[in-house]
């Protein structure tokens, strides 16, 4: 997508954005959905489609225009993700780490030189990954084992990152590592590093087999005495890595919420189509009130999720801190998507358990959204802690 004029609210102007969304909506339905069977069979997005996605600018939606991106604000980016997520989750997965997390961290915390080096490459479609989770730690930064030790003008990194989306394809990993063996207040022992995937000592494990989300790949990233120049430290400052990661996770969580809402809409549409076509006792099963109740409950939850997403995005674009609201939105939307997928299987009855029908695949695909970017349970803790701190300060 060619960078467009900036609106008064930030991002591109409304007319250009509306035209892009209509183009994206058609592309999803006319090109991406028909290719889903091939993606599932080959467990990979075909290279011609990746080229098309790059040509459409889907890897650079949030990059500033001066770095070759479209310059969308968070509301626009998240709506684009919602539209893209109507199709197979792999299409969102390949772009979203660039857009919602790595780009955000570099924009918010990178030096001018880091922005100039990496943002144009990411906007052009080089794939990035985000290295926070480890074999023994995820949300628990105190348990992080990956170490970055200063050696003259260089940093030397050692450790393993686990379940890293896009690791097999990535050209860059944003890696969180300890720069202090002591666990410091406010997670100041964690710094962020821009790690190209080609230096000696960087290796990627085999892609993990997964329950669902065919075409999307996760793998371990191993760092064995990886020597990086001093300017690989994001922002050139130690101790800011975890804060930058959490800031970018707000965008990542809204992306997952949008993915849940977009895929939830696809799942509900599929359930309604089956309910109107499948007949029992001489009538379409859509005429049965208990089927209608499941469809209505799904619509109610989707509407609520869409409203939460729009509100959280509006607030972040206005400069508000949205940690609690982004977490709440992600929890609600991902849990709702799981319930909608379950109802879709139920509407299909026995057919819903067969791989011949999409309902079975939807059920498997949707399950990870309750885990991505913070499990429901860890986000419940984050929301409660934020509420209690706010209450105590009154």
CB 155 within 8 A of CB 193: yes
Cα atoms in the Cβ-side hemisphere of radius 13 Å centred on 321: 7
CB 360 within 8 A of CB 382: no
Which listed residue (134, 301, 358, 373) is catalytic? 373
What b/e readout covers 318-333, taking b as 16+ CB neighbours within 10 angstroms? eeeebbbbbbbbbbbb
User: Cα separation of 106 and 86, whole Å?
Assistant: 28
360 is catalytic: no
| Separation in Å, CA 136 to CA 222, 223, 309, 348, 350 | 14, 16, 32, 40, 40
State the catalytic residues: 373
């Amino acid at each position: 997508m060619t960078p467009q004029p900036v609106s008064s609210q930030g991002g591109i102007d409304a007319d250009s954005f509306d035209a892009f969304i209509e183009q994206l909506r058609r592309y999803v339905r006319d090109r991406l959905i028909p290719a889903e069977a091939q993606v599932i069979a080959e467990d990979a997005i075909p290279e011609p489609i990746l080229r098309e996605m790059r040509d459409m600018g889907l890897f650079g939606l949030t990059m500033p225009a001066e770095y070759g991106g479209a310059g969308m604000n968070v509301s626009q980016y998240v709506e684009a993700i919602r539209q893209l997520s109507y199709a197979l989750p792999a299409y969102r997965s390949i772009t979203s780490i660039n857009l919602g997390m790595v780009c955000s961290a570099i924009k918010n915390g990178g030096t001018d030189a880091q922005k100039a080096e990496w943002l144009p490459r990411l906007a052009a479609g080089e794939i990035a990954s985000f290295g926070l989770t480890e074999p023994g730690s995820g949300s628990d930064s105190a348990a992080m084992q990956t170490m970055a030790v200063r050696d003259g003008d260089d940093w030397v990194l050692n450790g393993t990152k686990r379940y890293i989306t896009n690791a097999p394809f990535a050209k860059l990993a944003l890696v969180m590592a300890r720069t202090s063996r002591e666990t410091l207040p406010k997670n100041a022992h964690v710094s962020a590093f821009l790690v190209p995937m080609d230096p000696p000592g960087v290796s990627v494990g085999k892609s993990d087999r997964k329950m669902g989300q065919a075409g999307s790949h996760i793998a371990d990233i191993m760092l064995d005495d990886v020597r990086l120049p001093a300017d690989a430290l994001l922002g050139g400052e130690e101790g800011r890595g975890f804060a930058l990661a959490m800031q970018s996770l707000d965008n990542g969580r809204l992306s997952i919420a949008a993915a849940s809402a977009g895929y939830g809409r696809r799942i509900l549409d599929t359930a309604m189509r089956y309910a109107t076509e499948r007949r029992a006792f001489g009538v379409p099963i859509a005429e049965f009130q208990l089927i209608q109740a499941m469809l209505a409950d799904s619509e109610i939850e989707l509407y609520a999720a869409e409203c939460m997403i729009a509100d959280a995005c509006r607030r972040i674009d206005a400069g508000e801190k949205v940690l609690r609201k982004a977490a709440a939105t992600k929890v609600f939307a991902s849990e709702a998507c799981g319930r909608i997928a379950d109802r879709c299987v139920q509407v299909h009855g026995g057919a819903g358990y067969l791989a011949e029908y999409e309902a079975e695949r939807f059920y498997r695909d949707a399950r990870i959204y309750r885990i991505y970017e913070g499990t429901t349970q860890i986000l419940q803790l984050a929301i409660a802690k934020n509420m209690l701190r706010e209450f105590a300060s009154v």
